[in-house]
């Protein structure tokens, strides 16, 4: 693209560069800049990387005499005359134009766009495109799009990009703003090393950006997109592999694999391990004994028995003379883990200690001394564990529950407290589908518990339409009369917006004063002080409340074996994985349990999703299904993970995943510290929050 065009878009005194905010561009006002912001676009660079979703191809033109009714066609015409009139039947303004080319005449008609009459002066030359119909005046374009013909044809008679749009920001607008900026594509650093580009037959980034916005043809557009996708996956693979190599080369804590100890531990359990637990345990103990520090994710549905596996790892670590820290996202969960580990490990000489926000100063001092002195070997807690002052002289294993990825910064804090890098085990009940984990979790090894311990009754799940609400409440009441308890989950804390979602506080008011007036109803939400949350939760756990109305705070981990009902308001507002998590809160004892999904006005997609939850009790299957229904971007929330968003790459593209992985491995073999291609090492900055790469 010529620099001439570039100079057209900004006043001469504004130097154009990739970081320039969009409102500084001529033709983008403050209001438009605000709207662009909604699309995540705030700089020139963002706009260059705002990729089309598809293209509208109107390049093929037809002479007017050859027009056929019933299909979309494009023609190069001259306006002969224009008229506008009010339609007699409906109160509509009709603009009608007579069009001609060298051989014939046709008509075009538009509805309720009176201003068009002024734009279409007789004699104007147009590219016009739209569906043609036969009318009493001959062939007629109905509501066609058009553009004056001139030196540059942008919209009609072209291969025109269709972009993700938002209110007030059309593809037409975007085309005219993006195209003049394409000259700047040459300033975009090409992060793919030239040798890889050449070996893979990929175009330079500047050419790719040009071709993706203003393609010569569709094949070139596809190759341009593939080139951008390649770069995205390649960077991700390089970051993951670099993190892996870095980890494996660092000094790790080596924990010998004592088979006799493992056997003794298993023999004291009141049950037989599942095959999955046995395999996962073996994988973990093998990792612990290997020189590089472990980085493993243990995935398994709620109740699949992850804690036992973690307990075995902690015991082995202790036996080798190292400490273990177990971190949970909430105080409630930390207390539960503490109780469970107490039962499993105290008899083996490894009593767990508990450190949470509400631990008294005196107890905290005592615990810190125990950890620093090395008398205490197993500590369970919340993030209070990584606060200043917690020093573990000999940390060998970190177990983190319900957090796929533990921030690099946090991990470093734990490492700093001891010399070597501790082994790291994450546990989650919201599995990442295999199809995604290869690319997205390239630096993490996976273990899975796919089967449940024997003797569990699957939770019976029903979707409850509005008219069945009353009978569902009757059902809840009947369960409570049998001595059971119920959760009622609401999408929000307070009645706030027009969305009409039920709020926990309002539902609590309503249920406790009307529907369940005679029952003991309790309220729990995330805005309560931690101490109050714990107290209310404990009241429910003790059985001093029948119904607990709550927000998603009960999502993770809470264990109330006597609860048999999980009632979810506005169920369609939650993701599949989250619904499955809620469901996992019941069915934890021998009683048959139920999950009631109350729908609050749903669309086709919503009902498909609820049906999927009702149809399977496997979190692994639901994760795959969620992936199909919502796509990988939604599911994993890259931004949430701290990763750059994928603009072109499909994380499920196995072939491209493999190709980029190979390229990344080969590159790192020859350039392990990324010193040979600066744009590549610069690009790694965006991955530092997630991957431990330096």
In whole angstroms, give the CA distance from residue 124 to residue 79.
5
Give yes or no for residue 93 binding ligand ADP (CB under 6 A): no
Give yes or no for residue 274 binding ligand ADP (CB under 6 A): yes
Give yes or no for residue 305 binding ligand ADP (CB under 6 A): yes
In whole angstroms, give the CA distance from residue 164 to residue 399.
41
Give yes or no for residue 114 binding ligand ADP (CB under 6 A): no
What 8-state DSSP symbol labels residue 158?
S
Can you tell me which of 271, 363, 470, 628 binds ligand ADP, judged by CB under 6 A?
A: 271
Instruction: Judge whether 77 and 64 are in contact, CB under 8 Å.
Output: yes
Can you tell me which of 277, 324, 382, 437 binds ligand ADP, judged by CB under 6 A?
A: 277
Stretch in the footprint of ligand ADP (CB under 6 A) among 270-278, 317-325, 365-373, 575-583? 270-278
* Alpha-carbon torsion (502, 506, 512, 515), positive or negative: negative
3-state secondary structure 172-193: HHHHHHHHHHHHHHHHCCCCCC
Stretch in the footprint of ligand ADP (CB under 6 A) among 88-96, 271-279, 606-614, 668-676? 271-279
Calculate the dihedral angle through the C-alpha atoms of 172, 177, 180, 183, rounding to the nearest 10 degrees: -120
Helix H or strand E segment including 395: strand 395-401
Give yes or no for residue 306 binding ligand ADP (CB under 6 A): yes
Stretch in the footprint of ligand ADP (CB under 6 A) among 1-9, 30-38, 273-281, 609-617? 273-281
Give yes or no for residue 302 binding ligand ADP (CB under 6 A): yes
Q: Are strands 485-489 and 547-550 parallel, antiparallel or unpaired?
A: parallel
- Which positions from 394 through 433 interact with ligand ADP, judged by CB under 6 A? 429
Can you tell me which of 107, 140, 158, 307 binds ligand ADP, judged by CB under 6 A?
A: 307
Count residues contacting ligand ADP (CB under 6 A)?
15
Q: Which residue of the chain is nearest ligand ADP when measured via CB? A: 305
Count of CB atoms situated within 10 Å of the CB of 478: 10
In whole angstroms, give the CA distance from residue 183 to residue 101.
36
Task: Output 453 or 644, the one with its CB closest to ligand ADP.
Answer: 453
In whole angstroms, give the CA distance from residue 156 to residue 55.
12
Q: Which two tokens stand for residue 291?
A: 């020189």
Q: Over the range 636-658, which residues count as b (16 or more CB within 10 Å of their CB) and which as e?
A: bebeeeebbebbbbbbbbeebbe
Task: Output 308 or 579, the one with its CB closest to ligand ADP.
Answer: 308
Can you tell me which of 130, 193, 300, 433 binds ligand ADP, judged by CB under 6 A?
A: 300
Q: 93: closest CA among 80, 83, 79, 105?
A: 83
Nearest distance from C-beta of residue 259 to ligand ADP, angstroms: 19
Nearest distance from C-beta of residue 196 to ligand ADP, angstroms: 42
Stretch in the footprint of ligand ADP (CB under 6 A) among 100-108, 242-250, 268-276, 612-620? 268-276
Give yes or no for residue 339 binding ligand ADP (CB under 6 A): no
Supply the DSSP string of 71-84, one letter for each residue.
SEEEEEEEEEEEEE
Q: Work out the burial of residue 482: count CB atoms within 10 Å of its CB; fewer than 13 is exposed, 13-18 middle, 19 or more buried.
A: exposed
Nearest distance from C-beta of residue 369 to ligand ADP, angstroms: 30
Per-position x/- string for 427-466, each x denoting binding to ligand ADP as judged by CB under 6 A, each - no binding: --x-----------------------x-------------
Residue 151 CB partners (closer than 8 Å, separation 6+):
none
Instruction: Judge whether 159 and 127 are in contact, CB under 8 Å.
Output: no
Give yes or no for residue 622 binding ligand ADP (CB under 6 A): no
Give yes or no for residue 303 binding ligand ADP (CB under 6 A): yes
Give yes or no for residue 250 binding ligand ADP (CB under 6 A): no
Nearest distance from C-beta of residue 623 to ligand ADP, angstroms: 15
Task: Output 114 or 453, the one with its CB closest to ligand ADP.
Answer: 453
* Residue numbers at the binding site for ligand ADP (CB under 6 A): 271-274, 277, 300, 302-308, 429, 453
């Amino acid at each position: 693209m010529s620099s001439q065009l570039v100079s057209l878009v900004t006043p001469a005194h504004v130097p154009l560069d990739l970081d320039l905010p969009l409102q500084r561009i001529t033709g983008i006002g403050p209001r438009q800049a605000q709207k662009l912001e909604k699309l995540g676009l705030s700089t020139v660079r963002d706009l260059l990387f705002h990729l089309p979703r598809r293209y509208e191809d109107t390049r093929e033109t037809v002479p007017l005499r050859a027009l056929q009714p019933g299909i979309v066609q494009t023609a190069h015409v001259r306006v002969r005359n224009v008229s506008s009139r009010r339609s007699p039947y409906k109160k509509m303004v009709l603009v009608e134009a007579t069009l001609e080319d060298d051989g014939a005449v046709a008509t075009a008609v538009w509805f309720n766009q009176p201003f068009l009459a002024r734009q279409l002066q007789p004699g104007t030359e147009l590219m016009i495109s739209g569906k043609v119909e036969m009318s009493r005046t001959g062939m007629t374009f109905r509501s066609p799009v058009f553009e004056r013909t001139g030196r540059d044809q942008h919209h009609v008679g072209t291969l025109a990009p269709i972009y993700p749009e938002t209110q007030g920001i059309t593809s037409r607008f975007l085309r005219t703003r993006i195209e003049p900026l394409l000259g700047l594509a040459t300033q975009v650093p090409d992060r793919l090393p030239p040798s890889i580009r050449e070996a893979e037959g990929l175009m330079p980034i500047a050419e790719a950006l040009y071709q993706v916005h203003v393609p010569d043809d569709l094949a070139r557009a596809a190759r341009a997109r593939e080139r951008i996708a390649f770069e995205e996956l390649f960077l991700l693979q390089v970051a993951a592999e670099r993190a892996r190599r870095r980890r494996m080369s660092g000094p790790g804590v080596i924990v010998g694999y004592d088979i006799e100890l493992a056997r003794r531990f298993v023999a004291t359990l009141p049950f037989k391990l599942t095959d999955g637990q046995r395999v996962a345990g073996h994988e973990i103990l093998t990792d612990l004994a290997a020189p590089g520090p472990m980085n493993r994710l243990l995935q398994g549905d709620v109740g699949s028995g992850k804690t036992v596996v973690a307990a075995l790892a902690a015991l082995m670590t202790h036996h080798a003379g190292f400490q273990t820290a177990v971190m949970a996202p909430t105080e409630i969960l930390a207390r539960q883990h503490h109780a469970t580990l107490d039962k499993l490990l105290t008899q083996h000489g490894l009593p767990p200690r508990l450190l949470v926000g509400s631990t008294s100063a005196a107890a905290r001092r005592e615990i810190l001394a125990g950890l620093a002195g090395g008398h205490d070997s197993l500590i369970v807690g919340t993030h209070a564990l990584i606060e200043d002052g917690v020093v573990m002289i000999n940390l060998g294993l970190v177990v983190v529950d319900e957090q796929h990825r533990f921030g690099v910064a946090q991990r470093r804090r734990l490492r700093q407290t001891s010399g070597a890098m501790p082994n790291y085990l994450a546990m989650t009940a919201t599995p990442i589908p295999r199809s995604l984990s290869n690319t997205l979790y390239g630096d993490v090894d996976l273990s899975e518990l796919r089967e449940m311990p024997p003797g569990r009754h699957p939770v019976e799940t029903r979707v409850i339409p509005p008219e069945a609400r009353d009978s569902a409440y009757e059902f809840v009441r009947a369960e409570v009369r049998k001595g059971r308890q119920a959760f009622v989950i609401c999408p929000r804390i307070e009645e706030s917006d027009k969305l009409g979602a039920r709020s926990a506080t309002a539902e609590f008011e309503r249920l406790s004063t009307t529907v369940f007036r005679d029952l003991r109803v309790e309220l729990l939400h995330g805005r309560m002080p931690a101490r109050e949350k714990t107290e209310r939760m404990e009241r429910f756990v003790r059985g001093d409340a029948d119904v607990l109305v709550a927000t998603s705070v009960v999502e993770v981990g809470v264990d109330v074996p006597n609860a048999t009902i999980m009632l979810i308001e506005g169920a369609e507002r939650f993701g599949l994985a989250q619904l499955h998590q809620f469901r996992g809160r019941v069915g934890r004892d021998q009683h048959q349990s139920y999950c009631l999904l109350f729908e609050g006005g749903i669309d086709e997609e919503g009902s498909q999703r609820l049906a999927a939850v009702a149809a399977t009790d496997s979190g692994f299957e639901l994760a795959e299904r969620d992936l199909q229904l919502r796509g990988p971007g939604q599911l994993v929330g890259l931004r949430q993970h701290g990763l750059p968003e994928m603009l072109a790459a499909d994380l499920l593209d196995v072939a491209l995943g493999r190709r980029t992985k190979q390229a990344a491995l080969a590159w790192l073999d020859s350039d392990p510290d990324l010193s040979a291609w600066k744009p590549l090492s610069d690009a790694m900055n965006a991955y530092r929050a997630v991957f431990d790469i330096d």
